[in-house]
Structure formats: structure tokens, C-alpha cells
């Protein structure tokens, strides 16, 4: 068995905990390996969502995944928010805490979006210093996810995978490799997604995300509203081969299906790992191909 990365074990195959499935989970206690929560849905809640989470946390491993850390913002770190994360983590025995390499707001305003940062030495130094502060406060390694993006910066002097590699070297943080985000950004910015995955530090990858997206023809949008497409599964197989396997989670945040459909989607990963083919579902067949043609990309740069 490989050593747990940063002390974080391979939890197996999990799904995102979403409120439409609360009753089903409490009534059936399905054979899912673990759940990931959106941290912001629970840090200020003492109502039913938190009551449900407490019950689930007694039976399943829980991972916390946030969308408000804003590690790339020029605003000061929000230590009130970080304290809430730390308190919830202790209460539910969260295995780790993750967020995104992005910024979500400035001047105290939250855009509720995951916005890209320029990839250069100045940004690296700034973000690394903030990551160290967060890790010192949380008293554990932070796990950071690659974002999907729709613009690039003229000020960037390195690729995203080079930036993430340097960030792990500077801070000791972990990586959450969102395989779908790699694919979406690769389509949008015309790079080789396999090269991206090959360029990451395997020893720092703690977790994978899988999800569906929306093909707009010339570009893709990270919508998390459907099945994982074949090219993303192929990238997952590459990442699994290179890492030896890490905790793998399926996200499905819009047009959410019943729990069994959700769970069956992430279990496809097990078939692929074992070398078995996966057949498309009936609704995948009816929707037709979701694979955009690689000859058409969007190219946007901001200075």
C-alpha cells in the first residue's frame, strides 16, 4: 500500500452530499465510501442540514470543500471564516479541508464565482505566503483544486500545472485534481490535457474530482449537470495510473438525479480501474455526443 499523501488516506469512491438526497441517505445508508460537503452550506447552519450532516458523519468519512477562501484575492484573509471551517472540521472529524486556486471577491464583496489568477512568480510568492498562513491556522495541510477557466492573463509566465507544482513545493499543500476542469480549460485554451496531468507532482495529489460539463460548440462550461464524458474518463485513467489511486469524488450540482444514478456514475471509476469497459446510459445515448471538436477553441487574454 502506498503511504497516505500528507497523512490523508485514500477514502475510495465518494459523492457530493446534496440536500435532495438527505432523506434517501438517512433511510437507506447506501454503500458509498465517503461524502464531500460544500463547507459554506454548513458553517453557519444549526438547522436541519447540520443535523443531517452530524448523523451522516457518524457513519461515513467527510471531506470539506469550500468556495470562499479566495486565496488569490488582494483582500486580507478572513480569519473569522477560517475559524468557522476549523470548528466545523473538528465537530464532524473532516478528513481534510479543500478550496480552489482562485479569487472570489475583492473589497469585501463576494462574487460567488471562482475567478482565475495570473500564473507568474509574483503571484506565486503572494499565494504561497497566504497558503502557509491558512495551514498554520488550520493546523493541517490545505488541499487546493485547479479551477476551470475561460480567460488567460497576458501577465502569466508559466503554465497552470507549473504554477501548481511550484505552489506545492513552496508550501507543502496538497492538490485536488479536478479532471473535468483540466478538460474544460484545455478545450477553452487549446492545450493538451494529458500534458497538464503529466506535469503535476503525483506525490501531492490527495483527491480527484469528476463531473459533467456543457459543450457550447466552440468552448465548454463547467456546469456539473450531467454524466462524465469519455475523454474525461480517459484523463482520469491516466491520473489514476500516475498516482496509484487517490480518493475520487463525483460532483453533480444541477439537474441532480436520484441517488442511485449519482452513485452509479462514480462507480464507473471502479470499472475503469479494473480494466472493464463502461457502457453509456440510456439518457447519454439520447443526448448524443458531448465531446467538442478540438479544432475550435476560445482564446481570451486579459492584462
Burial class of residue 240 in the structure, from the number of CB atoms within 10 Å of its CB (0-12 exposed, 13-18 middle, 19+ buried): middle
Does residue 247 register a pLDDT over 50?
A: yes
Answer whether residue 247 is part of any domain.
Answer: yes
pLDDT tens per residue, range 271-295:
999 998 876 654 544 443 344 433 3
Mean pLDDT score of the chain, rounded to an integer?
91
Number of domains in the chain: 1
Give the alpha-carbon dihedral of 32, 38, 43, 44, to 10 degrees: -110
Answer whether residue 170 is part of any domain.
Answer: yes
> What is the chain's length?
303
Residue 234 parent element (H or E):
helix 230-243
Q: How confident is the model at residue 46 (pLDDT cuts 50, 70, 90)?
A: confident
Contact 190, 299 (CB under 8 A): yes
Q: Any idea what the CATH number is for the domain that residue 260 is in?
A: 3.20.20.150
Percent over 90 (pLDDT), the chain: 84
Answer whether residue 1 is part of any domain.
Answer: no
Answer whether residue 84 is part of any domain.
Answer: yes
pLDDT of residue 109: 83
Range(s) of the domain holding residue 215: 13-302
Q: pTM to 2 decimals?
A: 0.91
Integer Cα distance of 237 and 235 in angstroms: 5
Answer whether residue 4 is part of any domain.
Answer: no
pLDDT tens per residue, range 134-188:
999 999 999 999 999 999 999 999 999 999 999 999 999 999 999 999 999 999 9
pLDDT of residue 277: 82
Answer whether residue 3 is part of any domain.
Answer: no
Answer whether residue 117 is part of any domain.
Answer: yes
Residue 164 parent element (H or E):
helix 160-171
pLDDT tens per residue, range 86-141:
999 999 999 999 999 999 998 888 888 899 999 999 999 999 999 999 999 999 99
Answer whether residue 249 is part of any domain.
Answer: yes
Amino acid at each position: 500500500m502506498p503511504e497516505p499523501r500528507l497523512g490523508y488516506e485514500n477514502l475510495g469512491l465518494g459523492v457530493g452530499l446534496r440536500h435532495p438526497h438527505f432523506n434517501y441517505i438517512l433511510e437507506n445508508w447506501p454503500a458509498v465510501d465517503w461524502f464531500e460537503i460544500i463547507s459554506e452550506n454548513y458553517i453557519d447552519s444549526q438547522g436541519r442540514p447540520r443535523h443531517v450532516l452530524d448523523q451522516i458523519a457518524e457513519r461515513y468519512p467527510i471531506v470539506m470543500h469550500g468556495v470562499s477562501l479566495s486565496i488569490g484575492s488582494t483582500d486580507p484573509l478572513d480569519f473569522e471564516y477560517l475559524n468557522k471551517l476549523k470548528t466545523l472540521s473538528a465537530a464532524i472529524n473532516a478528513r481534510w479541508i479543500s478550496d480552489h486556486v482562485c479569487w472570489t471577491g475583492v473589497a469585501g464583496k463576494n462574487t460567488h464565482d471562482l475567478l482565475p489568477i495570473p500564473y507568474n512568480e509574483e503571484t506565486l510568492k503572494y499565494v504561497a505566503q497566504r497558503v502557509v498562513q491558512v495551514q498554520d491556522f488550520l493546523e493541517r495541510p490545505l488541499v487546493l483544486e485547479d479551477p476551470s477557466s475561460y480567460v488567460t492573463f497576458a501577465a502569466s509566465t508559466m503554465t497552470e500545472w507549473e504554477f501548481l507544482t511550484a505552489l506545492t513545493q513552496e508550501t507543502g499543500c496538497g492538490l485536488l485534481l479536478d479532471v473535468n476542469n483540466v478538460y474544460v480549460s484545455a478545450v477553452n485554451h487549446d492545450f493538451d490535457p494529458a500534458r497538464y496531468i503529466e506535469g503535476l507532482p503525483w506525490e501531492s495529489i490527495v483527491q480527484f474530482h469528476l463531473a459533467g460539463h456543457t459543450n457550447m460548440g466552440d468552448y465548454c462550461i463547467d456546469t456539473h449537470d450531467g454524466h462524465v464524458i469519455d475523454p474525461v474518463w480517459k484523463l482520469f485513467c491516466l491520473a489514476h495510473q500516475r498516482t496509484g489511486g487517490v480518493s475520487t469524488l463525483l460532483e453533480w450540482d444541477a439537474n441532480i438525479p436520484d441517488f442511485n444514478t449519482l452513485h452509479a456514475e462514480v462507480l464507473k471509476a471502479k470499472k475503469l480501474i479494473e480494466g472493464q469497459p463502461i457502457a453509456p446510459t440510456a439518457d447519454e445515448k439520447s443526448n448524443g455526443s458531448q465531446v467538442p471538436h478540438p479544432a475550435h477553441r476560445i482564446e481570451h487574454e486579459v492584462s
